[in-house]
């Protein structure tokens, strides 16, 4: 039987976020690589620190990636994208 809950955890411990930062498309979403097309739009739901979203954006520079999450790591994701000069990704 499925149990309904009335709360959702909206943040991760810094140690968890640190381990998530190493994730890339190649090591966490390689099955999608053959399906990437120039100019496509990608929605990354639950993007966390944004490392996979940013990597997708780098792989399709003429496309657009939107990363969505409910947690605070989005500020860090925005900073990471800016530091890397990746302009075709946004975080909400």
pLDDT digits (tens, 9 = 90+) for 29-63: 999 999 999 999 999 998 988 999 999 999 999 99
| CATH code for the structural domain at 14-91 | 3.40.50.150
Give residue 1's pLDDT.
Answer: 66
Residue (of 53, 58, 43, 60) closest to 77 by Cα position: 53
Query: Collapsing DSSP states into helix, strand and coil, what is residue 91?
Result: strand
Write the DSSP assignment of 34-84 as a string of letters: GG--TT-EEEEET-TTSHHHHHHHHHSTTSEEEEE-SSTHHHHHHHHHHHH
0.85 surpassed by pTM? no
Domain boundaries, the chain: 14-91
């Amino acid at each position: 039987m499925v149990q309904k809950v009335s709360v959702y955890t909206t943040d991760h411990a810094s140690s968890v976020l640190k381990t998530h930062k190493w994730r890339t498309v190649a090591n966490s979403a390689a099955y999608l690589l053959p399906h990437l097309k120039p100019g496509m739009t990608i929605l990354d739901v639950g993007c966390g620190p944004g490392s996979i979203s940013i990597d997708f954006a780098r792989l399709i520079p003429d496309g657009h990636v939107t990363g969505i999450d409910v947690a605070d790591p989005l500020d860090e994701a925005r900073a990471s994208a800016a530091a890397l000069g990746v302009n075709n990704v946004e975080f909400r």
